[in-house]
Amino acid sequence: MTSFWSGWIILLTAFTIAATTWLLFANRYSTSKEGDTTGHVYDGIEEYDNPLPAWWLWLFVLSIVFGVGYLIFYGLGNYPGLFGWTQTKQYEAEMAEADAKYSPVYERYAAMTIEEVAEDQQAMRMAGRLFNSNCAQCHGSDAKGNRGYPNLTDSDWLWGGEPEQIKTTLVNGRQAAMPGWEAVLKETGVHEVSEYVLKMSGQEHDAAMATAGEKHYQTYCLACHGPEGKGNPMMGAPNLTDDVWLYGGTRMRIRETLIKGRNGQMPAQQDTLSAEKIHLLAAYVYNLAQ
């Protein structure tokens, strides 16, 4: 916060408190005697001109004193307060406490292999909680994914399902790069190669177009998706011959993929999660697919 806004807030707050206090005491005493009225009449009911009852007045005074005390201890504007309390500090203190409590547990798992950790019930319960707070927003709480977000419970992998490959995915993240093909293949070419993808995945297709599409495939697609369309985990290129689809396997979806290209991104976790937590999560993902 700049000192201008800090000063502004402090001034505004101090003024409000002073004004409230003045209002309270200015109305405390009146020159009227017991039983005098203010002269206001509503439907024949008159208003007495009595001061506030003492208990009520003191309740107001007490809340003002409490308010001022609160600001002195907890701060206002840039003034940190006598306690120096902030939400961030409290959060950090709680995290440090949790780390101290759990770090021996994490260290024990870190010394085990991913396969071993995946067998450990307690580790999997801890990892499940980590998954829910760090991964479920994209992969779903059941880890079954959604369009563009891979299902982690099957044995079909973009980037490989070996323990070390999963760990690399988590640590560094992954950036898939499938270019768009409309400029190169034109509309007909996209049609043809789509029919070929339908053919490879064993779906209903136009045979003549698929034959033309196969040529495009050999020229443009083979380098990443492989000669038989089985994919390549080095590039995250999916297998096109099965019925597992990241973006959908209908004619319309395949064409959309080919026209627009696809660039799925798995965010790197190394800056957000400790190495021990990533180890646990890698074991969790490995276990899901078993």
By beta-carbon proximity to ligand HEC, the closer residue of 16 and 141 is 141
Least separation, in Å, of the C-beta of 4 and ligand HEC? 38
Least separation, in Å, of the C-beta of 80 and ligand HEC? 35
For position 177 contacting ligand HEC by CB under 6 A, the verdict is yes
Residues 99-138 contacting ligand HEC, CB under 6 A: 134-135, 137-138
Other C-beta atoms lying within 10 Å of the C-beta of residue 135: 21
Return the closest-CA partner of residue 239 out of 159, 185, 135.
159
Other C-beta atoms lying within 10 Å of the C-beta of residue 234: 9
By beta-carbon proximity to ligand HEC, the closer residue of 60 and 247 is 247
By beta-carbon proximity to ligand HEC, the closer residue of 74 and 220 is 220
Place of tokens 């005390």: 69
Residue pair 110/102 in contact by the 8 Å Cβ criterion: no
Binding-site member from 123, 170, 210, 288 for ligand HEC (CB under 6 A): 170
Q: Considering only 49-57, 95-103, 153-161, 203-211, which stretch makes contact with ligand HEC by CB under 6 A?
A: 153-161
Show the site string, 233-272: x = touches ligand HEC by CB under 6 A, - = not.
--xxxx-x----xxx------x--xx---xxxxxx-x---
Q: Shortest Cβ contact with ligand HEC: which residue?
A: 264
Q: How far is CA 206 from the centre of its chain?
A: 43
By beta-carbon proximity to ligand HEC, the closer residue of 82 and 177 is 177
Our CA angle for 25, 29, 42, nearest 5°, is 105
Least separation, in Å, of the C-beta of 139 and ligand HEC? 6
Binding-site member from 150, 198, 200, 288 for ligand HEC (CB under 6 A): 150
CA–CA distance, 193 with 220 (Å, rounded to integer) = 10
Query: What would the two tokens of residue 142 be?
Result: 């059941």
Residue pair 244/147 in contact by the 8 Å Cβ criterion: no
Query: What would the two tokens of residue 47 be?
Result: 């208003």
For position 281 contacting ligand HEC by CB under 6 A, the verdict is yes
